[in-house]
Amino acid sequence: MRLSQFPLSTTKETPADAQVVSHQLMLRAGYIRQLGSGLYSWLPIGLRTLTKIAAIVREEMNRAGALEMLMPSVQPAELWQESGRWDQMGAEMLRFRDRHQNDFCLGPTHEEVICHHFRQDFRSYRQLPVNFYQIQTKFRDERRPRFGVMRSREFLMKDAYSFHMTAEDLNREYQNMRDAYVRIFTRLGAEFRPVKADSGNIGGALSEEFHILAGSGEDLLAVAQGGTYAANVEAAETKPSGAARATAAQSLEKVSTPGQKTCEQVSKFLNVPLTGKVKLLVVKGEDGGLVGIALRGDHQLNEIKAAKHPLVASPLTMADPADVLKVFGCEVGYLGPVGCPIPVIADFAAAEIADFVCGANDNDHHLRGVNWGRDCAEPATADLRMIAEGDPSPDGIGTIKFYRGIEGGHIFQLGTKYTKAMSVSVLDAAGQAVTPEMGCYGIGVTRLAAAVIEQSHDERGIIWPDAIAPFRVIICPIGSDKSAAVKDAAEGLHADLLAAGIDVVLDDRGNRPGSMFADAELIGVPHRIVIGDKGLATQQFEYKHRRADKAEMIAATTAAVLEKLAAV
Amino acid sequence: MRLSQFPLSTTKETPADAQVVSHQLMLRAGYIRQLGSGLYSWLPIGLRTLTKIAAIVREEMNRAGALEMLMPSVQPAELWQESGRWDQMGAEMLRFRDRHQNDFCLGPTHEEVICHHFRQDFRSYRQLPVNFYQIQTKFRDERRPRFGVMRSREFLMKDAYSFHMTAEDLNREYQNMRDAYVRIFTRLGAEFRPVKADSGNIGGALSEEFHILAGSGEDLLAVAQGGTYAANVEAAETKPSGAARATAAQSLEKVSTPGQKTCEQVSKFLNVPLTGKVKLLVVKGEDGGLVGIALRGDHQLNEIKAAKHPLVASPLTMADPADVLKVFGCEVGYLGPVGCPIPVIADFAAAEIADFVCGANDNDHHLRGVNWGRDCAEPATADLRMIAEGDPSPDGIGTIKFYRGIEGGHIFQLGTKYTKAMSVSVLDAAGQAVTPEMGCYGIGVTRLAAAVIEQSHDERGIIWPDAIAPFRVIICPIGSDKSAAVKDAAEGLHADLLAAGIDVVLDDRGNRPGSMFADAELIGVPHRIVIGDKGLATQQFEYKHRRADKAEMIAATTAAVLEKLAAV
């Protein structure tokens, strides 16, 4: 390719409305252009990267034995009514009527559609297992689309759906897909981490997310140092320490703590560590009443885990302070488990401490020297808190450290949630109808491009891994309008690299070196070859990797260039 | 690929609701499945063909220098309001509101979007010409979706848009695209014809359609035998014959023709040929009044050409019979140019005849021996009729014959219609703002698959050209469960052909020969190799091309098979 035939639309100015680096760089480098809120067009250079990501995904899905198909974006309401999700999905699912006043949605996902097709053609256990995937445009009407293509409304997604006779076979395919995802993310050339995840409203039992690690990531990941455990903090378990609770040493004492409401304030006021404080949060219960959740003063509530507790209403809803005042007779900030008028469940860590401080259920007062079982009932315990840095890994191996990540993929064991709702069944070997087990496996193809940029860039622009760079090599001839030797060498190298199957671009626009180099760095081409009369005088090209601080001289031969490319 | 790993969903029954052969065969062969009215999913085997068509289109567009990009399906109303098409487009354009109550449409085409992006990044003549294309999902809310994917609502389309400083440069690129289209349609392996076309509501001056020839095609094409002229009959011109009109030989005579209203009835009743009759059609005029259109008795009105006449309202609207009665004092069926109360325009052929028969503008009466200029004014003449089989070609070379075709592509010279409406301008070499000329070039990727089947099938199923067959070769081993020799030979050939880069599939399902062959023929694999113990005993495979009546024996070697493939 030649830049004279492949227009770049690069700019030096950082767009004012782009908040994150990937959005800024994708606009500046001319990868994308906005059409409307959360709607982006991919210009030719951007589409090259998007296509390369999609090709890697396709190759590895095919290698894993999944079958590519293509389902429509527009989906009839009837299918979503059948699964029950027509009413469950919020405003994120865009609904409309066609000219005949029939209801449709613009597909945010395709579980219903694949179940519909599966039940048309699959009748026997002999036809299973099967795994269908597509790389297709999805639409989600985000309330606040942001960060460019990172959270856009229309985007390219790879979604796969597998069907199985048994949970064991689903688990086998889930591992097969997990392996394929590891290959995909490895081939992208980005640093990534598969982590245990919450299944959210997709449903199902087991799920993992694949995250591109980046300081700007929206998700916090708990990763065991010296171990293999990794989970989204949302989903990371915590366990009882196993150590016996210390014997009560202090007697119960009510102390005046005027205006001291937060754990931090009380801890400082009474000179006790945060780890010696128990806080009581009040949430709505499954039965419509209130439930108290006891946490250690230094711990944070994990709303997702709490909402799964049988006593707690889902989704988690904090109690109205007015209701708390009515029931407790005091303000939030002075609550505690002693003489508590509502059921209390305690996080494992909160239940392990003795002689603790907590609210006295009386304004401007706390209790100290409190002990479970002596001053109040032994609480029901559960895993209710956010894991914290420095915690032991839940599997006992290593210590938790936090990373930030951008979710690029998500795999789920759905079980029979959708197959049951959509009345899917196949006959087993004995002729009995069986509801197949189902898995689903997504990759945000569009988002991956932005995520890799978040991980890999510098102040001059994008730094692409070779596999998904729009061009692997850029040739920058200096003064080719004046020097036939430079022009010939540049054209020759360009032709040689193309013949070798290398994705190379020749900057034949006749720009000055500074402008050429700035464009090459902004668009993120990993390998740059500069050809000038000075180097050619000693039979040399200048080579620089996008990450390197300095250029180096190499022999002015195609073989020397290929050697550099192979070295990465 | 192995059929044990690639489930087919073939059926023997012809689906009751599929009216055309391609729809029936695509359902029976398991290429597509319906999701809703005009909404189809492509099963894996179907997607293989769709992907191959798209790949040919992409390769030739790239070779022609066009740049691939990707625009969103969802488009903001503002752009369509700017071009004026938000109100012009009918119910075929699906409109909806997002969660914030903003108006959008599901893109039926992308002229507005590309103009929007072009004006963001293109400022100078130095950046032109440029041609952007995408292969992307379109949605058109057809009133009556039918014929499967031939006229569906959601479909894959290649749309390209080029921008130019001058009309000459637009014409150059139009020819470049025309050449690319000829290469694309040639590579598909189907019989096709580029024909002159009407530009319809896309607008612009010059356009051509690319048709797949098929007896079931919805379009009628006028093609010169012994010449190169070809046009959609909608757009085919007719010209004056050039011969002088015969001298008037008969005197004007009013004759009674009770109940004889049609040309055929009058012709028979008065024993004059249809070519000696002039009929007068009454349509609404541009000024709100009525206009008479005189046609020779054997000719048909071309509504598209008539609507373009300056005196005629567009779109063409036939006059209300009650209005005709009021103005003429007689019924439709007895109208004629003599003493006609409204302006008359005559088709060239109708103006050329002498001593003709026409209505007398009096119920149950006609005139005979009528002559233009003597009995009524010489009419204004124009090209108003449908071309007919046997007519001389409009370019003077050859004679017109009709074919039926299915439109698979359409190229347009749009001129400045959209660039003007969208306020697109670039600076020329003199620093003056210029409105660029624009071309657009579409291919219905989805429809092409169906169109090729309409052209190429038999009673047993689809007959694919090699280039777009889901598999080029199918290997059918007979009794491989019992014969290790058969199994080994089949596996060996499969591996060899894969290694040679041939798209081969091995039917390793263990089915009986009849069932294997029926599937292979239904899905349309062009080359079939049967391997059995009997043939192997004399070192032979059986080879059959899908079009051949009989199988033949060839040497049981990969080389012999490759030779057969190369022979096509």
Count the Cβ atoms, other than its own, within 10 Å of residue A474: 26
What is the ipTM, given to two decimal places? 0.92
Can you spell out the DSSP letters for A519-551? HHHHHT-SEEEEE-HHHHHTTEEEEEETT-SS-
C-alpha A208/C-alpha A196 separation (Å) is 4
CATH code of the region A21-212+417-453: 3.30.930.10
List the structure tokens of A221.
Answer: 């990941």
Nearest residue in A to B62, CA atom: A1
Which chain A residues are within 8 Å of B98, Cβ to Cβ?
Answer: 94, 141, 153
C-alpha A69/C-alpha A229 separation (Å) is 35
C-alpha A166/C-alpha A439 separation (Å) is 11
The alpha-carbon gap from B54 to the nearest alpha carbon of chain A, in Å, equals 13
Sheet holding B473-477, edge to edge: B504-506, B473-477, B527-531, B540-545, B552-555
- Nearest to residue B334, comparing CAs of B293, B285, B378, B280? B280
- Residue-level pLDDT at B452: 97
Q: Give the tens place of pLDDT for each residue, B150-186.
A: 999 999 999 999 999 999 999 999 999 999 999 999 9
Which chain A residues are within 8 Å of B70, Cβ to Cβ?
Answer: 41-42, 47, 50
Contacts of A214 (CB under 8 A, 6+ apart): A404, A405, A406, A451, A454, A455
The arithmetic mean of pLDDT across residues A55-65, rounded, is 98
Query: Are residues A76 and B36, on separate chains, in Cβ contact within 8 Å?
Result: yes
Phi and psi (nearest 5°) for A404? -105, 145
The pLDDT-based confidence of A203 (bands split at 50, 70, 90) is: low
Of residues A50, A71, A154, nearest to B41 (C-beta): A71
Sheet holding B356-359, edge to edge: B253-256, B365-370, B356-359
The pLDDT-based confidence of B481 (bands split at 50, 70, 90) is: confident
E strand or H helix at A504, and its extent?
strand A504-506
The pLDDT-based confidence of A206 (bands split at 50, 70, 90) is: confident
C-alpha A132/C-alpha A114 separation (Å) is 8
Count the Cβ atoms, other than its own, within 10 Å of residue B421: 17
- Residue-level pLDDT at B204: 60
Per the DSSP assignment, residues forming a β-bridge with A372 are A376
B304 touches chain A (CB under 8 A): no
Q: Give the tens place of pLDDT for each residue, A90-146.
A: 899 999 999 999 999 999 999 999 999 999 999 999 999 999 999 999 999 999 999
Q: Is B513 helix (H, G, I), strand (E, B) or coil?
A: helix
pTM: 0.92
The arithmetic mean of pLDDT across residues A69-74, rounded, is 98
Which chain A residues are within 8 Å of B37, Cβ to Cβ?
Answer: 100, 102
- C-alpha count within 13 angstroms, C-beta hemisphere, residue B306: 26
ω into B129 cis (within 30 of 0) = yes
Query: Are residues A143 and B42, on separate chains, in Cβ contact within 8 Å?
Result: no
Say yes or no to pLDDT of A417 above 80: yes
Q: Give the tens place of pLDDT for each residue, B361-403.
A: 999 999 999 999 999 999 999 999 999 999 999 999 999 999 9
Nearest residue in A to B93, CA atom: A99
The pLDDT-based confidence of B480 (bands split at 50, 70, 90) is: confident
Site from B41, B128, B446 to mutate, A interface, most A CB atoms within 10 angstroms? B41
CA torsion angle A275 A278 A284 A289 (round to 10): 160
What CATH homologous superfamily does B253-382 map to? Answer: YbaK/aminoacyl-tRNA synthetase-associated domain (3.90.960.10)
Fold of A471-566: Rossmann fold (3.40.50)
Say yes or no to pLDDT of B519 above 60: yes
Cα distances from B568 to residues B60, B467, B503, in angstroms, run: 22, 11, 15
Q: Is B498 helix (H, G, I), strand (E, B) or coil?
A: helix
Q: Is A371 helix (H, G, I), strand (E, B) or coil?
A: coil
- Residue-level pLDDT at B453: 97
Per the DSSP assignment, residues forming a β-bridge with B133 are B68, B160
Count the Cβ atoms, other than its own, within 10 Å of residue A473: 25
| Length of chain A (residues) | 568
Contacts of A68 (CB under 8 A, 6+ apart): A58, A61, A62, A132, A133, A134, A135, B44, B47
The pLDDT-based confidence of B476 (bands split at 50, 70, 90) is: very high
Q: Give the tens place of pLDDT for each residue, B30-82.
A: 999 999 999 999 999 999 999 999 999 999 999 999 999 999 999 999 999 99
Can you spell out the DSSP letters for B103-128? EEEE-S--HHHHHHHHHHH--BGGG-
A98 touches chain B (CB under 8 A): yes
Say yes or no to pLDDT of A17 above 90: no
- Nearest to residue B497, comparing CAs of B568, B446, B565? B565
Are A437 and A416 a contacting pair, CB within 8 Å?
A: yes
Say yes or no to pLDDT of B199 above 80: no
C-alpha B202/C-alpha B374 separation (Å) is 44
Say yes or no to pLDDT of B219 above 60: yes
List the structure tokens of B377.
Answer: 């004014």
Say yes or no to pLDDT of A355 above 90: yes
At A164, the amino acid letter reads H
A82 touches chain B (CB under 8 A): no
Cα distances from B125 to residues B69, B116, B434, B437, B495, in angstroms, run: 21, 17, 9, 12, 54
- Nearest to residue B147, comparing CAs of B8, B25, B53? B25
Of residues A7, A75, A99, nearest to B130 (C-beta): A7
Of residues B5, B35, B102, nearest to A116 (C-beta): B35
The arithmetic mean of pLDDT across residues A390-394, rounded, is 94
Query: Are residues B139 and A73, on separate chains, in Cβ contact within 8 Å?
Result: yes
- Residue-level pLDDT at A16: 86
List the structure tokens of B526.
Answer: 């062009």
Contacts of A53 (CB under 8 A, 6+ apart): A188, A445, A448, A449, A468
- Residue-level pLDDT at A21: 96
Scanning A11-30 for CB atoms below 8 A from B yields 30
What secondary structure letter does DSSP report for A15?
P
Q: Give the tens place of pLDDT for each residue, A248-266.
A: 999 999 999 999 999 999 9
Are A197 and A232 a contacting pair, CB within 8 Å?
A: yes
C-alpha A525/C-alpha A48 separation (Å) is 12
Scanning A115-154 for CB atoms below 8 A from B yields 116-117, 120-121, 127, 130, 132, 137, 139, 141, 143, 153-154
Nearest residue in B to A91, CA atom: B99
Fold of B21-237+401-454: BirA Bifunctional Protein; domain 2 (3.30.930)
A21-212+417-453 matches A253-382 in fold: no
C-alpha A539/C-alpha A557 separation (Å) is 8
- Residue-level pLDDT at A568: 73
Count the Cβ atoms, other than its own, within 10 Å of residue A69: 22
Count the Cβ atoms, other than its own, within 10 Å of residue B513: 14
Cα distances from A156 to residues A139, B39, B68, B125, B293, in angstroms, run: 9, 19, 16, 34, 54
Question: What residue ranges do the domains of chain B occupy?
Answer: 21-237+401-454, 253-382, 471-566
Of residues A39, A65, A91, nearest to B99 (C-beta): A91
Nearest residue in A to B97, CA atom: A96
What residue ranges in B320-390 does DSSP mark as E strands? 344-347, 356-359, 365-370, 380-382
- Residue-level pLDDT at A428: 97
- Residue-level pLDDT at B17: 86
Q: Give the tens place of pLDDT for each residue, B276-316.
A: 999 999 999 999 999 999 999 999 999 999 999 999 998 89
- Residue-level pLDDT at B206: 87
The alpha-carbon gap from A506 to the nearest alpha carbon of chain B, in Å, equals 16
β-strands B253-256, B230-232: how paired?
unpaired
Query: Are residues A130 and B7, on separate chains, in Cβ contact within 8 Å?
Result: yes
Q: Give the tens place of pLDDT for each residue, B529-540.
A: 999 999 999 999
Site from A9, A43, A93 to mutate, B interface, most B CB atoms within 10 angstroms? A43
C-alpha B445/C-alpha B184 separation (Å) is 11
Phi and psi (nearest 5°) for B445? -60, -50
